């Protein structure tokens, strides 16, 4: 090789090294978390509807085809505890050792009276809600508050299909919509034509689209709140605040996390039929302005596709699972699973003029996680997160994944606060921005509240950045135009932000600004 060639090789390699500096310097979740597949029971369709842990530290899971299994991780063995349940989508181990499961039509307590490892008594705790036979009427759960009240949530029916002639619960005819209008086949006519006359999602039997509370010792289900659509994730925090994950669709422009208020209407109109003062017309025909004034806005919107698609269970983000500063309380951030993408959504709450809002971002955004993450559960020591997967008829996967934090600290954003002129990001360590080719980008848009399915990004606008300041562990973004109310700000931070801990772990944040500072 002559000298010229040698110099060329050296030059090329240096150039490649420089241009690919980002690849070497890029944050990788695999450096901080181990991802492993956990065995599932033999001959059981491993689509998880619920995950819990018993006092012995064993996983207790319910599956799509009605089984309840118990997993001894030390022995890597599963045993089947119960079978024959109807699409169970939540499980809870009680202090007494009994197991609560929520099925489509029943909240069931499983007893093992002879202690042989198999349920021998399937007790009805409550079945006090309607079921029309529509395929989309899932029943989700379940959590308890400090008074041991149980909370479940009922999904609405979809006009993808009608209902059955025999139903449970009385049909609600408000607005003149009779049950016959929702029957199809044979003498009842073709559904493709009949569906044109009914709303996209509907709640014509009690209490679809509502959050229900069942008190200890009572079989009665009380309507705790209205206005959810497909509420596939419930979480009760340490302050007895109920959070619910709801999914994009009609009246739900983007998937969202609700901060449920007792007696409140949370936006999806179908369930207004079951409110204390129901309307005297089809709820979907009510003026949007009237509905807008009634509804409690979800603190956080998760723009479809970019941020989330089909969200699931909510948990807090704990200090055992992520390098959160000790001064930050665990109530300050939530995580929520997602079906469509290999990632977990993290919610960073903010309160502006009394309005709950805040920012969403991603963690564990890696193909190692896999999709279909329906039910989440921490290990006893909190260092591991189990993710039970499902797909049913939607995008997703099967199986059980375990993700364990190795304890090595990395750089993450602990809070995003709105300011009068922009946003303040607080990191868990002092940061610096090694300026590189990537820069900051901010786009604002509106998510519409309307009967339409989902929402386009309305009034999209690129926001000019006036200034960026770094002060210790804070990054302060000032916009050329001060933040406006009722917008989502899609913020991409520079991926050259770094620290002694690591490079930045997540660069994209969606801030829901219901309210702003004057």
Partner 1 sequence: MTYLFKFYLQVSVAIMIATPVVIAQDKVVAPTAFVANCQACHLLNQAVVGPSLVEISEIYPKVKQAEFIQWCVDPGKKRDEMPQMPSMAHIAKEELAQIHQYILDVSVGVEKIKISGKDIYADAPLHTVRPRIDRLFVADSSPISLILALDTEKNHNIIWDADQCRLRYISAGKVSISSTRMGLANVGKINYLETALFKGNHKPQFKGYSLDENGMATFLYSLNSVQITETIELKGQEIVRTIKTDSTLPDYQLVSQKSSAIKVKSSSSQQTLTLTYQFL
Where in 400-429 is the site for partner 1 (CB under 8 A)? none
Nearer Cβ to partner 1 (12/55): 12
- The DSSP secondary structure of 35-54, one letter per residue, reads EEEE---TTS---EEEEEE-
Exposure string of 34-52, with b = 16+ CB inside 10 Å and e = fewer, is ebeebebbeebebbbbbbb
Contact 335, 477 (CB under 8 A): no
| Residue from 24, 146, 289, 464 in contact with partner 1 (CB under 8 A) | 24
Nearer Cβ to partner 1 (182/405): 182
Task: Please give the biggest Cα pair distance in the chain.
Answer: 90
Where in 129-158 is the site for partner 1 (CB under 8 A)? 131-133, 135, 158
| Residue from 172, 226, 309, 506 in contact with partner 1 (CB under 8 A) | 309
Q: How far apart are CA 232 and CA 149, in angstroms?
A: 19
Q: Peptide bond preceding 142: is omega within 30 degrees of 0, i.e. cis?
A: yes
Where in 237-266 is the site for partner 1 (CB under 8 A)? 248-249, 253-254
Task: Rule CB under 8 A: say whether 437 interacts with partner 1.
Answer: no
Where in 32-91 is the site for partner 1 (CB under 8 A)? 43-45, 64-67, 80, 83-87
Positive or negative CA dihedral for 12, 14, 18, 24?
positive
- Select from 256-264, 305-313, 347-355, 463-471 the region that touches partner 1 (CB under 8 A): 305-313
Nearer Cβ to partner 1 (256/341): 341
Task: Rule CB under 8 A: say whether 197 interacts with partner 1.
Answer: no
Site size toward partner 1 (CB under 8 A) is 74
* Angle 510-309-233 from CA coordinates, rounded to 5°: 95
Contact 158, 229 (CB under 8 A): no
Q: How far apart are CA 159 and CA 192, in angstroms?
A: 10
In the bound complex, what is the minimum distance in angstroms from residue 194's beta carbon to partner 1?
13
Nearer Cβ to partner 1 (44/468): 44
Q: How many helices (H) and strands (E) does the chain have?
A: 4, 36
At 32, phi and psi to the nearest 5?
A: -120, -20
| Residue from 204, 213, 389, 457 in contact with partner 1 (CB under 8 A) | 457
Q: How far apart are CA 295 and CA 410, in angstroms?
A: 39
Task: Rule CB under 8 A: say whether 216 interacts with partner 1.
Answer: no
Task: Rule CB under 8 A: say whether 286 interacts with partner 1.
Answer: no
Task: Rule CB under 8 A: say whether 14 interacts with partner 1.
Answer: yes
In the bound complex, what is the minimum distance in angstroms from residue 467's beta carbon to partner 1?
28
Task: Rule CB under 8 A: say whether 106 interacts with partner 1.
Answer: yes
- Select from 3-11, 266-274, 415-423, 502-510 the region that touches partner 1 (CB under 8 A): 3-11
């Amino acid at each position: 090789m002559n000298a010229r060639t040698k110099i060329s090789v050296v030059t090329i390699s240096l150039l490649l090294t420089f241009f690919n500096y980002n690849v070497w310097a890029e944050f990788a979740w695999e450096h901080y978390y181990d991802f492993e597949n956990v065995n599932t029971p033999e001959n059981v369709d491993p689509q998880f509807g619920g995950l819990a842990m018993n006092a012995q530290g064993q996983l207790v899971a319910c599956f799509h085809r009605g089984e309840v299994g118990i997993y001894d991780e030390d022995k890597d063995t599963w045993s089947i505890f119960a079978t024959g349940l109807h699409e169970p989508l939540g499980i809870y181990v009680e202090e007494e050792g009994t197991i609560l499961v929520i099925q489509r039509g029943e909240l069931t307590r499983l007893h093992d009276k002879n202690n042989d490892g198999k349920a021998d008594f399937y007790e009805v705790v409550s079945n006090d809600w309607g079921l029309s036979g529509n395929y989309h009427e899932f029943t989700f759960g379940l959590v308890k508050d400090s008074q041991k009240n149980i909370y479940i949530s009922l999904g609405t029916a979809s006009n993808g299909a009608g209902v059955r002639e025999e139903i449970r619960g009385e049909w609600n005819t408000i607005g003149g919509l009779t049950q016959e209008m929702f029957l199809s086949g044979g003498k009842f006519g073709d559904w493709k034509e009949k569906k044109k006359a009914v709303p996209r999602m509907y709640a014509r039997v009690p209490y679809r689209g509502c959050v229900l509370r069942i008190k200890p010792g009572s079989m009665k289900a009380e309507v705790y709140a209205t206005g959810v659509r497909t509420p596939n994730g419930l979480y009760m925090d340490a302050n007895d605040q109920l959070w619910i994950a709801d999914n994009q669709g009609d009246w739900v422009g983007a998937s969202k996390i609700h901060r449920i208020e007792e007696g409140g209407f949370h936006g999806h109109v179908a369930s207004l039929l079951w409110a204390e003062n129901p309307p005297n017309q089809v709820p979907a025909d009510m003026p949007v302005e009237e509905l807008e004034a009634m509804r409690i806005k979800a603190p956080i919107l998760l723009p479809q596709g970019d941020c989330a698609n089909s969200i699931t269970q909510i948990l807090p983000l704990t200090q055992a699972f992520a390098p959160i500063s000790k001064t930050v309380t665990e109530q300050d951030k939530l995580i929520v699973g997602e079906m469509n993408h290999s990632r977990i959504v993290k919610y960073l709450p903010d309160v502006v003029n009394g309005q709950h809002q805040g920012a969403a971002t991603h963690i564990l955004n890696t193909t190692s996680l896999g999709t279909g993450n329906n039910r989440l559960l921490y290990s006893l020591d909190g260092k591991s997160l189990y993710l039970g997967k499902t797909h049913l008829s939607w995008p997703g996967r099967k199986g059980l994944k375990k993700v364990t934090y190795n304890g090595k600290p990395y750089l993450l954003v602990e809070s995003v606060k709105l300011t009068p002129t922009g946003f303040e990001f607080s990191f868990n360590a002092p940061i610096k921005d090694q300026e590189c080719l990537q820069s900051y980008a901010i786009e604002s848009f509106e998510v519409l509240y309307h009967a339409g399915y989902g929402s386009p990004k309305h009034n999209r606008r690129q926001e000019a950045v006036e200034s960026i300041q770094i002060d210790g562990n804070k990054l302060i973004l000032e916009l050329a135009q001060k933040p406006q109310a009722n917008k989502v700000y899609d913020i991409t931070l520079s991926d050259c932000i770094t620290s002694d801990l690591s490079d930045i772990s997540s660069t994209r944040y969606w801030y829901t600004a219901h309210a702003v500072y004057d």
